[in-house]
Amino acid sequence: MMRPLSDDLFVLDVPFRIGPMALGGRMTVIRLPDGGLWLHSPVKLDAAVRGAVEALGPVRFLVAPNTMHHLSLGDWAAAYPSAKVLAPAGLREKRPDLRIGVELSDVMDVGQSPAIELLLAQGLSRLEEFVFFHRPSRTLLLTDLAFNIHESPSWLTRTYLKLNGVYGKLGATWVVKSMTKDKAALRAWRERVLGWDFERVVPCHGEVLEKGGKEAMREAFGWVG
């Protein structure tokens, strides 16, 4: 179930639908230098998933990367009461039932070690998405800012992505573009992200991009100018 991308980077792919749209989902697990685990966008928790995660090490951090990816977070927080829950500030208001320990911020040290950097995508309304850079594996983690879907069993999904011009490649949909209120701010975010030394891009929806990640990100956000 758990697929290694490097010695300390693993992904777990799961089916995921929003209504008739089949987008697929993904949790990314980073094993920190001290052996603890940092979970990005936790997926539905069941016995098999729990066993696969615990085989890698103790769960230390549970990360909601934006205000949309939180559906299973409560179950994980209950299962691992000693794990620190990290989330955008907006999620605290949206989900007051969640045990959020730390609100994400560009300038914070949340204890996830110097191996991981984070950056809030500026200029967007509502989504409040943070991207993450895992320095040891040269990997960028995305959530909903861009998809990389090359295949889908759903005709509607394929049609939607083709109309957006992003089927079969890394790209932002019209939903993200419609949320963008300040292209200059998002452009500045893009340039800061491109300053990171990454090669691989791991989105939550679509295929992992193993090579050429920086060029793909530059093209995916070329519409911001």
CATH of domain 3-224: 3.60.15.10
Q: Tell me, what's the pLDDT at 106?
A: 73
Digit-coded pLDDT (tens) for 197-213:
999 999 999 999 999 99
Q: Tell me, what's the pLDDT at 112?
A: 55
d(Cα 179, Cα 165) in Å, to the nearest integer?
A: 18
d(Cα 21, Cα 154) in Å, to the nearest integer?
A: 7
Decide: 122 and 185 in contact? Cβ < 8 Å: yes
Decide: 61 and 83 in contact? Cβ < 8 Å: yes
Q: Tell me, what's the pLDDT at 105?
A: 84
Q: Tell me, what's the pLDDT at 109?
A: 57
Digit-coded pLDDT (tens) for 158-194:
999 999 999 999 999 999 999 999 999 999 999 999 9
Q: Tokens at residue 75, please? A: 């179950």
Q: Tell me, what's the pLDDT at 146?
A: 97
Decide: 223 and 203 in contact? Cβ < 8 Å: no
d(Cα 155, Cα 225) in Å, to the nearest integer?
A: 31
Digit-coded pLDDT (tens) for 48-102:
999 999 999 999 999 999 999 998 999 999 999 999 999 999 999 999 999 999 8
Domain ranges of the chain: 3-224
Q: Tokens at residue 19, please? A: 């209504």
Q: Tell me, what's the pLDDT at 130?
A: 96
Provide φ and ψ at 124, rounded to 5°.
-105, 145
Q: Tell me, what's the pLDDT at 145?
A: 97
Q: Is 30 left (phi over 0), alpha (psi -120 to 50) or beta?
A: beta
Decide: 142 and 160 in contact? Cβ < 8 Å: no
- The three-state DSSP-derived secondary structure of 168-182 is CCCECCHHHHHHECC
Q: Tell me, what's the pLDDT at 111?
A: 52
Digit-coded pLDDT (tens) for 106-159:
766 555 567 899 999 999 988 999 999 999 999 999 999 999 999 988 999 999
Under DSSP, is residue 110 helix (H, G, I), strand (E, B) or coil?
Answer: coil
